[in-house]
């Protein structure tokens, strides 16, 4: 992967670990950081050797405090790439899974980044909020729509309309956090989840992710089930579709190709 100024991207086998690297401003993002992250996820999306990503923040205080308001207040020009905040929140066509390893504060846009990921693993000191109304803004990078799709609407509105901060444990109880662990165990736990996903066919994972999200956009269950999904079509025509049953019949571990 390329060298970056405001983030790091490290590949280990099929796994890419992306770290927002602005700890001095609690990993908040300005224009240049957003466009760097777009490049990272563009490369991830098109690299056939990378099947899953973990996203986290540098340091122990913050995953991301969201938009860099000091940069904005100082007259910095605020621009976002077409793929959204952190190059991720508007990336609706990404079928590869992304895990958020939330290592502290996830506020505003930082929470929206986590919500745009497929799983959220949180350290026990993590906290989440959409506090934009307290500064005259609104969570327009997906938070207003993803949160009430992931937890009950009344609970989502309770967070959105007050801007209140939610702990990692409450986030798990509400349903948007998958697991809470001590901070020292956060990355190992996120990697454990990644390894479980990597045991499955990447073609099946991509088909499943696309069908879930696209199906949720359908009001009718029959329409969701009978919908046409490109990643499902690709799975049915893949080498993995043949390899999986063959490996099962031969009582051996499958050798996934991702094609």
Instruction: Give the whole-angstrom CA distance, residue 214 versus residue 67.
Output: 28
CA distances (Å), origin 135, targets 132, 139, 174: 6, 11, 25
- Asked if 24 is an active-site residue, the reply is no
User: Residue 107 burial by CB count (10 A; 0-12/13-18/19+): exposed, middle or buried?
Assistant: buried
Q: How many residues does the chain have?
A: 259
Decide: 234 and 202 in contact? Cβ < 8 Å. no
Among 99, 86, 102, which Cα is nearest to 42's?
A: 86
**Biggest distance spanned by C-alpha atoms of the chain:** 64
Among 110, 93, 92, which Cα is nearest to 101's?
A: 110
Which of 79, 112, 185, 195 is labelled catalytic? 112
Residue/partner pairs of 147-154 with CB below 8 Å, 24 or more apart:
147/115, 147/176, 149/216, 150/115, 150/175, 150/176, 151/175, 151/176
Instruction: Give the whole-angstrom CA distance, residue 120 versus residue 141.
Output: 17
Instruction: Give the whole-angstrom CA distance, residue 103 versus residue 89.
Output: 19
Which of 10, 132, 199, 255 is labelled catalytic? 132
User: Residue 192 burial by CB count (10 A; 0-12/13-18/19+): exposed, middle or buried?
Assistant: middle
- Asked if 112 is an active-site residue, the reply is yes
Instruction: Give the whole-angstrom CA distance, residue 116 versus residue 99.
Output: 9
Q: Which residues are catalytic?
A: 112, 132
């Amino acid at each position: 992967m390329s060298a970056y100024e405001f983030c790091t991207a490290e590949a280990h086998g099929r796994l890419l670990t992306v770290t927002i690297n602005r700890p001095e401003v609690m990993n908040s993002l300005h224009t240049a950081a957003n466009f760097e992250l777009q490049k990272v996820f563009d490369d991830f999306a098109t690299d056939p050797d990378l099947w899953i990503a973990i996203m986290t923040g540098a340091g122990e205080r913050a995953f991301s405090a969201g938009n860099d308001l000091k940069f904005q207040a100082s007259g910095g020009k605020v621009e976002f790439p077409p793929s959204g905040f952190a190059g991720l929140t508007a990336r609706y066509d990404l079928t590869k899974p992304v895990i958020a390893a939330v290592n502290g504060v996830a506020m505003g846009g930082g929470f929206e980044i986590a919500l745009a990921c497929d799983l959220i693993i949180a350290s026990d000191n993590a906290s989440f909020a959409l506090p934009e109304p307290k500064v005259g803004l609104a969570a327009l990078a997906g938070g207003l729509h993803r949160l009430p799709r992931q937890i009950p609407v009344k609970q989502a509105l309770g967070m959105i309309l007050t801007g209140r901060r939610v702990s990692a444990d409450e986030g798990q109880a509400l349903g948007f956090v998958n697991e809470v662990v001590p901070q020292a165990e956060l990355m190992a736990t996120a990697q454990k989840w990644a390894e479980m996903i990597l045991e499955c066919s990447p073609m099946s994972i991509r088909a499943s992710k696309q069908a879930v999200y696209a199906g949720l956009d359908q009001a009718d269950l029959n329409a969701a089930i009978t919908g046409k999904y490109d990643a499902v079509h690709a799975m049915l025509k893949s080498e993995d579709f043949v390899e999986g049953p063959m490996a099962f019949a031969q009582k051996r571990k499958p050798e996934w190709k991702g094609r």
